[in-house]
Structure formats: structure tokens, C-alpha cells
Amino acid sequence: MNSLRSYDIKYLKGVGPRRAELLRKELGIASGYDLVRHFPTHYLDRSKIYTVRELSDDMPYVQLRGRFVTFNVLGEGAKMRMVGLFTDGTATMEIVWFKRIKAIRESLTTGTEYIVFGKPSSYMGTRQMSHPEIDLPSAITAQQGMRGVYPLTERLRNSGITSRHMSGWIRTLLTSRKAIVDPLPQSVIADNRLMSLGEALAEIHNPTDAQKLSRAKMRLKFDELIYIQVDMLRRSLRRKSISVGHRLTRVGEMFNRFYRECLPFDLTGAQKRVIKEIRADVNTGRQMNRLVQGDVGSGKTLVALMSMLLAVDNGLQACLMAPTEILATQHYETISSMVKPLGIRVALLTGSTGTKARREIHSALTDGSLSILIGTHAVIEDTVEFRNLGFVVIDEQHRFGVAQRARLWTKNEVAPHVLVMTATPIPRTLAMTVYGDLDVSVIDELPPGRKPIETLLRYDEQRAQVYRAVYGQLRLGRQVYIVYPLIEENEKLDLRSLEEGYQIVRDTFREYKVAFVHGRMKPAEKDYQMGLFASHEADILVATTVIEVGVNVPNASVMIIENAERFGLSQLHQLRGRVGRGADQSYCILMSKHQIAKTTRQRLELMTQTSDGFLIAEADMQMRGPGDIEGTMQSGIPFDLHIANLATDGQIIQLARRAAEKLIDEDPNLSSPGNQLFARELAANSEGIRDWSRIS
């Protein structure tokens, strides 16, 4: 593959410098390697010819066979277009061109039979197709089987580049002297009965039949995934071999006394198990990097606190970082009151900590008298120095930038143990890929006695009824969240409907106080409004998803989510976790327009049926792809995926994982002769990729 990597496609026959530049700009295709990895999105059966009469707008690309009757150039300037009247005997339609009109007109004649390939649409009741690919029947019937349809951009299409061009260029490349040497070790190919790389590439671009195509896809997906897995495994090995960690061998006074005297309830089985896993980790002499996943309300904070006490018992300091000031403050309040009987010093450091208090914290950190520091990213500012930081907890990690986490390491000579806590459940196979080099614990059990949140789907015309129910709760002294979507692409409109919503809520619930918060507010104003709600000065909080992470108001028993159809399921689940924190029955009402697509309704209905975060994440991923989940993790996969799909290729991920484990087990440095090519390919894939290995 290396010769393809260094091959500039401008030298390819029919491409040239101008098109090469366009392909680079539009699709990021620069080398021959990039080009052969530009896969068709779907295939067209070349033998299938549709009739004009049977076309409908929801059809994908189709082939027609017929003749042009007339060509007319209409409009002027930017509005200029050419309309060709096309018929195949069953009906007539318009073929429209907006660009390159002159050249196209010269290449076509009326009365000649053509094969036309494009996406049907309609305009004011007239059947249309714009900028189709057009061939003489003789050019088509010579080929058989399936024809790849390549993703192209508007600009590429306008400059005359078609799927056929792509296919032709790729064929030239694959049959040229730049032979494809298969970099996968023979044993891997044999163990997994894989098609060779050369054959897989040929098949995916120009399939012989459906079965071969499916084997080709399998091979190419496997390729993408095994490089990721090998990369993850090697990083994790490297980290384990070089990173020295504090040995927390003593389970001392703090941990034990807390367990016996301060804990107001029993730990759940899952909490116990995860604490055990953490204790095993911090005893190895290596730095721990563990991700704890647990649904909202599963009691992650307690697990974090007990781990921090373990560090304190071993003469080390601990630090907990939360993504927002409110959250940090809440953690501080809970934790300091829980550990009060132990007499250890806990402090809160955020952006709004005053100079004097800050100075005191700094000196208590350096002289070691401060055991636990809780705060926002203020705790990783350069001026903050610890005497002996041994344990770091990062809560709700997806709000923490990767770079911020990396700075933790500069704080001490021996890297502190790192525990990352997230309430975003990640399906197992995705975790295997995205967090492949981390150890993962799962708290899969909620504390006993929780009343499940009742989730209801309601439509706009039922609003009056919903508001009546809200009144009922307010009269009982409960608090209510009302959440609006706010997305960047639609920010202005969303802000307007949020503000309108706020007005309506104020007008409707006149005798109650309404707080209002959104992400575009100044932090001080935001904190003030959130504070009103947290202290129950306000009864209703109208907000955007800024409340998704964190706030803990056990008295809030109702959440209304407006335009629920616009949220991802995992996000709805996160939001919903803000209620149901107290002893009362809680409700989550998903409001939606009545006119929603069936699949959307099904998604929302799933929310009313389950409160299992993993099931929801899994469903979300199946329906929307892994993008959403990944996005919220600010993490990512080390390599770009072109063909493998983390949502649906779980089985291949597992195969690749197993193959990677075997490979690394037998040859950790990939130095045996049979693995040379693979190692080189891995290095080429990793080029320019950040070093993730030290970051949580």
C-alpha cells in the first residue's frame, strides 16, 4: 500500500492537476491510497432499467432508457438552465442542467437512444432529474453486474466528475503496476478466512456478485478495526510498562471509619465490586486509568469518595474535578458533610474563589494539610501545586477537554491514579474501540428503593392537560424543570422559542417563581439562576440542556422536555436523570408535535418503556449511528473509519479485537519478519495522530 500512498493522483490518466486539486479539496483525496479507499455508498444493478412512468421521488438513483425530444435553454444569468424533454414511451419527464450547459448540449442529440442515470425528483408536479449521467446503451451493456455509486459533492458534480469517472480511475489504479501487497500477516488472514486485500479492493469497487461483495466489505472493515485494536493494545501495554504509580496498600482509618460510621446506607453490590476493582488497580505499582460508567443516580460519587479516602489513608492528596461550578459546589457540600466526622480537610476551588481563600488553599495544598480538593478546571491551573497528589477523579468526563486532563500529569513526579466517571453509557463494542486502552468498570445497579421515573409522551394539543398536572405537583411543593432544545445550527430560532417558552410559562404559572438559564448567558447570571432553583426560591426552571450535567435538586419531581423529537435518546436519558432523585414519584414528560415520523415516535416510545441507560444507548446508536455518543465524549477513535460502522459491526470489532490480542501476544513489538508490513502500515496509519495513551 505504500506505493499507493506516495502516488499523487494528478498523474492518473484523466485526472490531471485541476481535478486532482478539486478532489483533494472536496473529498480529501490526494493519493492513490485515498482514492482506492473512497468506497461506493451503494450499488446499482446495471441490468435493471426503470420506466419513467414508475418513478417516484423516494427512489434512489435509477437507470432509464429513452430519447430526448427537445432541448430548451431557459432563464438568464444565474437562473439559466437547460431542460431536455425525455421519453421512454411510458411517460415523459424533464431532465435539467444548471451548469456546463453548452458542453452538454453539444454532446447530446435528439432522437438518439441513451441510458440515463440519476435521482428522480419532481418540481411542481413534473417528473424531473437533474444532472444525470448519460451514456450510449453500447457503453453500458458491455458491462455486467453491479455498478458502484460514489459519494460526490455538488462542486465535483458541477465540474463534470461522475461516479463513472471515479470508478474508471480506481480501476486504472488497481490494475496498474502499483500492485497491492497485503500487509496483514498470513496467520491473521488464515485464522479469519479473509479475502486478500487486492481482491477485496477490486470487488468493492466492481463487484462480481453479492456474496463476493459482502466478503470484500468484511475484509475491509476488519482492516480498519484491527489497526485500531492493535494500536490500543500497544498503547495500553506501553502505559502499563512505563507508568509508575503510587501503591495504595493501606486500607486505613479513613476508609474503614467512613465505611462503618459515616455511610448512611449500604453500598450496592455494584458499588462494592467497582471499589474492589479500583483497589486492585492501585495496588499494582502502576498508574491506574479507569473509566467508571454508571447510569445517573447509580452512586458514582460515593465510589469516588471512598477511592479518594484510600489515597488519604496512604498519605496522599486527592482531587475531584467537575465540569461546572454548580456541580463542584454540590460535590463539595455532599462530600464535606459526609466526611465531617473524620476530621479531614476538604476545600472547594473554583473560578469564583476569592484571592484570600485561594491563597490559603494553595498553601494548605503545598504543606499537605489539605487532603481533598474539589473544584472546576481551576484546580489544574498552573499556580495550583500539590504536595503529593495521588488520586484524581474526573466527574462527567465528556465535558472535560482532553488537553485539560493531560495537564494533570505535570502536577507531580509520579502520575496520580485517574478515575474518570461518566454517566453516558457506552455500548460495549464502542467502548472496546473508543476506550480500548482503558480499564472499564460498570455500576449496573441502582440503590434500592428508587421509584422509577414515569415517562410519558404527550403532544402539543395535550398541553393544557400537562400544565394542569404540573400545577398539581407545584401545589404539593415540588419543583419542575422545563427543557428546550438549543443547537448551534439553529441557535437564533431556538433562542427565540426558548424565550417565548419562558414568557408563556411565566404567564401560565403566575403565582410561582420561574428561573431561566441557557448556555449563552454569562456564567455569573447562569449560576445565579441555577442557584435560585437549587435553593427552592424558584419553583420552575426553564432551561436548555445546560442542566444535563449534574444539578442535584431532589425536590424536583417533574421534567418537561419540549420538542423531545429533536434530542438523541441518550441525551433524553441524561436529562431525565435530573428528576427522580428524591423520595417522591417523579415524572418526565416528552412533548412533541403530533406530526412526527413513525421512527421518531418509536424512538420516543422506547423512552417511555425503559430506564436502562445501556439499552437506550444501544438503541440510539443503532438508530443514529455512533456519532452522537462519540461527540459527547469529546474523545474519538484514533483512525478515521471509512467503511466499518461502530454501531452495526460489533461482531467484526470482536473478531478484530481477538486477532489483535493474539498478534500482540505472540509478537508485542511486531518485529518478526511476517509482521513487518503490518507494522509499517500501522505506523503509516498512526501518522499525525495525537498521543492518547497518557490521557485518561
Q: Which residues form the interface with ligand ADP (CB under 6 A)?
A: 265-268, 271, 294, 296-302, 423, 447
Q: 509 and 570 in contact (C-beta within 8 Å)? A: no
| Identity of the residue, 149 or 446, whose beta carbon is nearer to ligand ADP in the bound complex | 446
The closest of 329, 328, 311, 324 to 387, measured between CA atoms, is 311
Measured from the CB atom, is 170 or 327 closer to ligand ADP? 327
Query: CA–CA separation, 347 vs 273, rounded Å?
Result: 29
For 467, phi then psi, to 5°, come to: -65, -35
Q: How far is the CB of 625 from ligand ADP (least distance, A)?
A: 26
Report the residue number, 301 or 529, with the smaller CB distance to ligand ADP. Answer: 301
Cell 435538586 found at: 553
If the CB atoms of residues 191 and 445 are measured against ligand ADP, the closer one turns out to be: 445
Angle at 666 between CA 199 and CA 288, to 5 degrees: 110
Instruction: Rank residues 423 and 569 by Cβ distance to ligand ADP and give the closer one.
Output: 423
CA distance 410 to 416: 10
CB of 575 to ligand ADP, least distance (A): 13
Cell numbers placing 273: 465490586
Rounded to a whole number of angstroms, the minimum distance from the CB of residue 421 to ligand ADP is 7
The distance of closest approach from Cβ of residue 605 to ligand ADP in the complex, given in angstroms and rounded to an integer, is: 25
d(CA 281, CA 274): 11
Pairing verdict, β 126-130 and 92-97: parallel
The smaller minimum CB distance to ligand ADP, of residues 395 and 539, is found at: 395
Collapsed DSSP state (helix, strand, coil) of residue 392: strand
For residues 318, 322, 325, 326, the Cα torsion angle rounded to the nearest 10 degrees is -110
Closest CA relative to residue 577, chosen from 293, 327, 292, 296 = 296
- The Cα–Cα gap between 295 and 547 comes to 16
Q: How many residues does the chain have?
A: 696
Report how far residue 442's alpha carbon sits from residue 292's, in angstroms, rounded to the nearest whole number: 6
- Please say which residue, 38 or 573, places its beta carbon nearer to ligand ADP: 573
Of 275 and 296, nearer to ligand ADP (C-beta) is: 296
Residue 273 C-beta: closest distance to ligand ADP, Å: 12
Cβ proximity to ligand ADP: between 40 and 294 the closer is 294
> What are the grid coordinates assigned to 117, written together?
442515470
End-to-end CA, the chain? 33
The residue sitting closest to ligand ADP, measured at its beta carbon, is: 299
Strands (E), 437-547: 439-443, 454-459, 479-483, 514-517, 540-543
Helix axes 197-205, 210-242, angle to 10 degrees: 130
Q: Nearer to ligand ADP by C-beta: 156 or 326?
A: 326
Virtual CA dihedral for 137, 140, 142, 143, nearest 10 degrees?
-160
Least distance (Å) from ligand ADP to the CB of residue 473?
20
